[in-house]
Amino acid sequence: MNVKKWIMLAVISAPLLFVLSGCKKKENPFPDHIGGKIFQGLKTINVKCAGCHGTLGEGGMRAPSLTKGVNNITTEQFVAIVRDGRGGMPAFGSMLKEEEIRQIVDWIKKLSNS
C-alpha cells in the first residue's frame, strides 16, 4: 500500500476505533424497541415539546429542562402538568391522549435516570 492509502485507512478507522473503545456491554436504559411505548414518547416529545424544551428535554430558550428535577415529582404530578399546563406551558390534554402523555413522562423519567 502506498502512503496515501495508509493515511486514508488511519483517518477512517481511528474515529471508529475511538468510538468502539468506549463501548461496554451494559444494560440498555431504553429497553423498549422502536415502536415500543417509551420510544413513542420520544416521538411525541420531538413533535410537541422539542420546540420549547429542546430535542432531548435539555431546555431551550422558551422553556426549562425537563430532565432536571423530574425525580422530585411523581409520575401523576408530571402527567397533570402536561395535561393541564402550568405557568407559561399550555395544556396538552385536549391535543394528546392520556396514553401519549404517559409515554412522554415515561421517556423523560428514563432519560433523567440514565
Domain total of the chain = 1
Note whether residue 6 is domain-resident.
Answer: no
By C-alpha distance, which of 79, 85, 84 is closest to 99?
79
40-66 pLDDT, tens digit each = 777 777 778 888 888 777 888 888 888
Length of the chain: 114
Report mean pLDDT in 10-residue bins for the chain, 114 residues.
Answer: 62 58 53 59 78 83 84 90 92 92 84 69
Do 73 and 114 meet the contact criterion of CB atoms below 8 Å apart?
Answer: no
Note whether residue 98 is domain-resident.
Answer: yes
Looking up residue 79, the CATH number of its domain turns out to be: 1.10.760.10
Domain that holds residue 46: 27-113
Place of cell 456491554: 25
